[in-house]
Amino acid sequence: MQALVLLLARILICVIFALSGIQKILDFSGSAQALAAKGINPSWFFLSGCIALLLLGSTLVVLGLWARYGAVLLLIFLIPVSFIMHPPFSDEPMQQIQFLKNLAIMGGLLFIVVYGSGSLSIDALRSKSNKNV
């Protein structure tokens, strides 16, 4: 049961990242304009990096393949984005809520960094096969 819960937790944490990456691909110019409006240039370059971090990180975490590294990639994305796109000291309450949501997600990612992906993962399968050799 614990293994299933850990798998579900990895999936739930990563849904937001995978969907965000896909949305950014589908609306690349709009997403680039949003970054440029925040003074991030060249926006296409940073947006491409964001998409790579989002999709690669979420894929690694969900599959449990180098999940700790995937979680670190998502943290590398999430920390600056939280401060730039959702400043914590904004006068807008919604920006503060978005910042706090990101902090909660960072907490979940840190659990993965420390404890790994659990037994229903490619990492666990690789670990078992290495012990049998």
Burial grade of 69 (CB within 10 A; 0-12, 13-18, 19 or more): middle
- What is the average pLDDT value for the chain, to the nearest integer? 95
- pLDDT at residue 86, as a whole number: 92
Residues 6+ apart with CB under 8 A from 47: 24, 28, 31, 32, 35
What's the confidence (pLDDT) of residue 45?
98
The pTM for the full model equals 0.93
What's the pLDDT at 128? 84
Give pLDDT tens digits for 38-59.
Answer: 999 999 999 999 999 999 999 9
Comparing 1-5, 27-31, 59-63, which segment has the lowest mean pLDDT? 1-5
pLDDT at 133: 58
Q: Could you give the percent of the chain with pLDDT greater than 90?
A: 92
Q: Is the pLDDT of residue 69 over 90?
A: yes
Q: Residue 90 above 90 pLDDT?
A: no
Confidence band (pLDDT; 50, 70, 90) for 131? confident
The count of domains in the chain is: 1
Output the CA torsion sign for 1, 104, 46, 66: negative
Q: In which domain, by residue range, is 87 found?
A: 2-131
